[in-house]
Amino acid sequence: MRTSRDIRTANRYGVLRQIIASSPTSRQELAAATGLSLATVATLVGELLDLGMITEVGFEDSAGGRPRGLVAVNAAGGALIGVDIAETYVHVELFDLALNVLARAEEDVRTGGNRPERLVGQVAAAVGSVVAQAGTEAARVLGVGVSMPGQVDRDSGVSEYAPNWDHWHDVPLLDLLGEHISYPLHLDNPLRACAVAELWFGAARGRRDAVVVNLGTGVGAGLVLGGGVHRGVSNSAGEWGHTTLVLDGRPCHCGNHGCVETYVGAPGIMRHLEELSPDSALLRPGDQTATIDALARGVTAGDPVAVRVVRDTARYLAAGIADLVNLLNPEVVVLSSWVAATLGEPLLAEVRTAVARHALRRPLAATEIVLSPIPTDPVCLGAATFALEGALQSVGQRATVRRQPAPARSRTAPPV
């Protein structure tokens, strides 16, 4: 059962999301857009005004009636920090409340896999850097969202397993970060970050059911179901990269064989290129990014090997996407992350054609397949949104004592 508290939090998300999308806007427009009653919208708008997240910005005429008050997001009402920890780098971005990027920092963490303390130090340095660059007062930072690949326990802040770092197990990431960072911290993984980014700011906004397919070194699917992110019972949902595409197929680091990820992740694409044309000039051994870039340029130039590799990848991808369409019947499938962004429209066109050969007619007819419209790093944006959701979830929390669901772990260490 959803409690009234869950519902109020979800409605608060929905109203702020709509205000960010359409500032300035009136309570009446918000009620129409969200399906909530005007009274509910007025209460939620009042809470957001009290928090300083939005402001009153004047009135609009309403065809002879009383002028309607307009509200808009208060970009300067706070700052949010998103941390994207990946296999080889850490990106950190600082956003205002309209989710504009005010500052960026990056660290190279190729050696970070075996040394949690070093990684934590690098994240802390990058967080300090964006705050300093933006000249943001520490008190304005509402929170820091951290995206960590693999399986994470949101409530305890533990990174349980990182697929590409062999000796990384059960690292208490938020406890370690909390020794350096004094803002509330929120942990989740890139699948959820990309799903939340699309839900708030991208192709899943206003959709009830959407799937955000992440194509990078790792592969997965962030699920938006029933208008919110589906996390599953232990926050592990979305491991589409580890569903079987080819029974007894390529071995996967997860221990299974024939996983989707082994065919459509960047290493799988490189492997296919190598098998097809071992001496191809497109292949940059040991450098996934350069190889995928070279493939994208090759497709544009009409290189037959590049065209073949992208077409074959699209075919694997399409079989896996058809599984998502048949199983979940979403309104939209969004292709996100760097492999999708780099291979772009040519990949999308091949995928659309191939999905139609695999999916059932009725769910296929109801589904669009699109590239992510988010122009910046969606993982940083989504991670910052974890912090925004955390701030909205804690509104009035002290007033509520009964049956309060466990919030995402957040803590405030003594200020640095």
* Binding flag, residue 70, a second copy (CB under 8 A): no
Q: Smaller CB distance to a second copy: residue 301 or 365?
A: 365
* Binding flag, residue 35, a second copy (CB under 8 A): yes
**From candidates 95, 168, 200, 240, binder to a second copy by CB under 8 A:** 240
**From candidates 331, 344, 370, 407, binder to a second copy by CB under 8 A:** 331
CA atoms within 13 Å, Cβ hemisphere of 359: 30
The first and second tokens of residue 258, run together, are: 């024939």
Q: What gap in Å lies between CA 248 and CA 259, rounded to an integer? A: 9
Site for a second copy in 132-161 (CB under 8 A): 151, 160-161
| Cα–Cα–Cα angle for 147, 154, 412, rounded to 5 degrees | 85
* Binding flag, residue 110, a second copy (CB under 8 A): no
The first and second tokens of residue 294, run together, are: 């070279």
CA 190 to the chain's CA centroid: 6
What track of x and - describes contact with a second copy for positions 340 through 369 (by CB under 8 A)? -----------------xx-xxxx-xxx--
* Binding flag, residue 40, a second copy (CB under 8 A): yes
If we measure between CA atoms, which residue out of 369, 279, 282, 390 comes closest to residue 324?
369
**From candidates 224, 317, 319, 391, binder to a second copy by CB under 8 A:** 319
What residues pair up with 11 in beta bridges, in sequence order? none
Q: What gap in Å lies between CA 406 and CA 25, rounded to an integer? A: 33
* Binding flag, residue 236, a second copy (CB under 8 A): yes
**From candidates 66, 110, 398, 403, binder to a second copy by CB under 8 A:** 403
Give min distance, CB of 95 to a second copy, in A.
24
* Binding flag, residue 222, a second copy (CB under 8 A): no
Give min distance, CB of 416 to a second copy, in A.
33
The first and second tokens of residue 51, run together, are: 């928090």
Strand boundaries in 36-112, DSSP class E: 54-60, 68-73, 79-85, 89-96, 101-108
Contact present, 70 and 41 (Cβ < 8 Å): no
Give min distance, CB of 169 to a second copy, in A.
11
**From candidates 16, 19, 20, 36, binder to a second copy by CB under 8 A:** 36
Compute how many other C-beta atoms are within 10 angstroms of the C-beta atom of residue 352: 16
Phi, psi torsion values for 91, nearest 5 degrees: -105, 135
Q: Smaller CB distance to a second copy: residue 106 or 331?
A: 331
Give min distance, CB of 324 to a second copy, in A.
8
Give min distance, CB of 255 to a second copy, in A.
8
Which SS3 state, helix, strand or coil, does residue 115 take? Answer: coil
Instruction: Give me the count of residues in the chain.
Output: 416
Which of 7-15, 83-91, 303-311, 346-354 is the region at the interface with a second copy (rule: CB under 8 A)?
7-15
Compute how many other C-beta atoms are within 10 angstroms of the C-beta atom of residue 167: 10
Residues that bind a second copy (CB under 8 A): 1-4, 7, 10-11, 14, 34-37, 40, 151, 160-161, 208-209, 221, 223, 225-228, 230-240, 242-247, 249, 254-256, 316, 319-320, 322-323, 326-331, 357-358, 360-363, 365-367, 403
